[in-house]
């Protein structure tokens, strides 16, 4: 079952978006690679396409709705990163200041030696020397042995305890010398807490979600009835995620430890990198605020800094042509990425099945939240949807 935008007419100037984008959505549903999705496309500040498709809960017969709540996974990162940048704008946090001022107890060491300084910029750009447990090949890795949580299980610990465990494991490289996707945003969340003197959930609401009217975005689902069920890609169709599930995102890795009920647990620690819940519409509010220059949250200069490649040209694994900014990836070379996106396009996703991108040059913001991992994050649908959006832009009537 799917809902199409009833307001579009055949002579509507945005009708061509419906033709191209709906075809990509219809195909992935027909192929049974997704269970449900909410897709929003904004062009030059106008919402030109909105589509709910498939099921929010297949077994219960509940259709997807535009106000469905999703476990955001790494879509949490740009939200918490923006909160940190608001503190930078307020002069309360320095991008290149060592975080030991705020987290003196967090001092992971390098190869058993000294504990080098880590900056907020390095946390935001994932150049801090940290990693993720789910990248380790087995339960004998340092993060696994330390009991580190990646923020999507129900570890029954506090954020402070998780950082203590993380700090006990060695850094993977000297901060600033390499790039590695990591728990850095969880550490950043702890910094935001200390600077604000508030729990992270309250700080993010004060700094970002409140000012933007993102009423459904939080660290726990505010209406369990609207929470989309989670599914895992399988053959011949996605299976419902188990209460405790481990699903490898990359070959040769131990896999991500999922507990979908975490989204309903008010006692789960606030994972800045993976723990939020929200709607597609809420997240579009954030993307559009940043695309338009940052008001009312940030000055345009800091938004530009977020969108600047911070890696010094380092290659991102499995992402040719991309660098990383402060909270999301940045497209350096469309040819290397075999992408129609403009240079400088922002992009990232979330393991529960989400993708998004912002193309400043063309005035595009696109949000695709699904309830199916990993097809909705890194499967064929992500490229198909991207290509459909650019085909629609190419087909747009010219004045």
Q: In Å, how far are 103, 118, 168, 183 from 115, measured between CA atoms?
A: 13, 9, 11, 17
The b/e string for 111-134 (b: 16+ C-beta within 10 A; e otherwise) is eeeeebebbbbbbbbbbbbbbbbb
Q: How many other β-carbons are positioned within 10 Å of the β-carbon of residue 138?
A: 9
Distances (CA, A) of 73 to 109, 163, 262: 28, 18, 11
Beta bridge partners, 322, equal 331
Work out the burial of residue 376: count CB atoms within 10 Å of its CB; fewer than 13 is exposed, 13-18 middle, 19 or more buried. Answer: buried
Q: Cβ-count burial of 99 within 10 angstroms (0-12 exposed, 13-18 middle, 19+ buried)? A: buried
Q: Residue 330 and residue 67: Cα distance in Å, rounded?
A: 29
**18, 74, 329, 355: which one is catalytic?**
74
Q: What gap in Å lies between CA 353 and CA 36, rounded to an integer?
A: 10
* Token pair of 198 as six digits: 């508030």
Structure-derived torsion over alpha carbons of residues 44, 49, 50, 52, reported in degrees to the nearest 10: -150
Nearest C-alpha neighbor of 84 from the set 76, 93, 75: 93
Q: Is 18 a catalytic residue?
A: no
CB atoms within 10 A of CB 369: 31
Question: Do residues 391 and 346 touch, judged by C-beta distance below 8 A?
Answer: no
Residue 373 forms beta bridges with which residues? 232
User: How far is Cα 56 from Cα 212, in angstroms, rounded to an integer?
Assistant: 26
Query: For residues 66 and 7, is the Cβ–Cβ distance under 8 A?
Result: no
Question: Which whole-number Å values give the CA distances from 28 to 50, 170, 207, 279, 284, in the listed order?
Answer: 17, 42, 37, 21, 22
Catalytic residues: 74
């Amino acid at each position: 079952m799917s809902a199409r935008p009833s307001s579009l007419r055949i002579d509507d100037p945005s009708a061509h978006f419906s033709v191209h984008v709906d075809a990509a959505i219809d195909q992935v549903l027909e192929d049974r690679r997704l269970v449900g999705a909410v897709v929003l496309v904004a062009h030059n500040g106008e919402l030109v396409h909105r589509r709910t498709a498939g099921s929010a809960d297949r077994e219960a017969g509940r259709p997807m709705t535009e106000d469905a709540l999703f476990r955001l996974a790494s879509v949490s990162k740009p939200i918490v990163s923006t909160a940190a940048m608001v503190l930078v704008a307020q002069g309360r946090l320095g991008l290149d200041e060592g975080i030991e001022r705020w987290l003196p107890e967090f001092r992971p060491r390098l190869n058993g030696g000294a504990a080098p300084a880590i900056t907020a910029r390095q946390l935001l750009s994932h150049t801090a020397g940290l990693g993720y447990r789910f990248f380790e090949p087995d339960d004998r890795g340092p993060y696994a042995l330390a009991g580190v949580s990646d923020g999507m299980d129900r570890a029954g610990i506090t954020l402070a305890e998780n950082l203590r465990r993380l700090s006990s494991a060695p850094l993977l490289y000297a901060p600033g010398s390499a790039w590695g996707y990591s728990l850095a945003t969880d550490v950043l969340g702890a910094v935001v807490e200390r600077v604000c003197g508030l729990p992270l959930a309250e700080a993010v609401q004060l700094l970002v979600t409140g000012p933007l009217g993102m009423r459904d975005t939080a660290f726990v689902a505010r209406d369990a009835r609207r929470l989309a069920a989670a599914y895992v890609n399988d053959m011949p169709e996605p299976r419902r995620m188990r209460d405790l599930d481990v699903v490898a995102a990359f070959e040769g890795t131990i896999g991500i430890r999922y507990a979908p009920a975490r989204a309903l647990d008010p006692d789960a620690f606030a994972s800045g990198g993976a723990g939020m819940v929200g709607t597609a519409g809420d997240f579009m509010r954030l993307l559009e605020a940043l695309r338009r220059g940052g008001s009312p949250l940030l000055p345009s200069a800091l938004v530009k800094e977020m969108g600047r490649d911070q890696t010094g040209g380092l290659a991102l694994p499995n992402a040719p042509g991309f660098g990383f900014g402060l909270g999301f990836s940045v497209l350096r070379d469309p040819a290397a990425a075999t992408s129609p996106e403009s240079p400088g396009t922002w992009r990232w996703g979330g393991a529960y099945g989400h993708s998004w991108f912002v193309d400043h040059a063309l005035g595009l913001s696109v949000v695709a939240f699904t309830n199916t991992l990993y097809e909705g994050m890194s499967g064929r649908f992500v490229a198909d949807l991207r290509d459909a959006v650019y085909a629609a832009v190419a087909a747009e009537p010219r004045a």
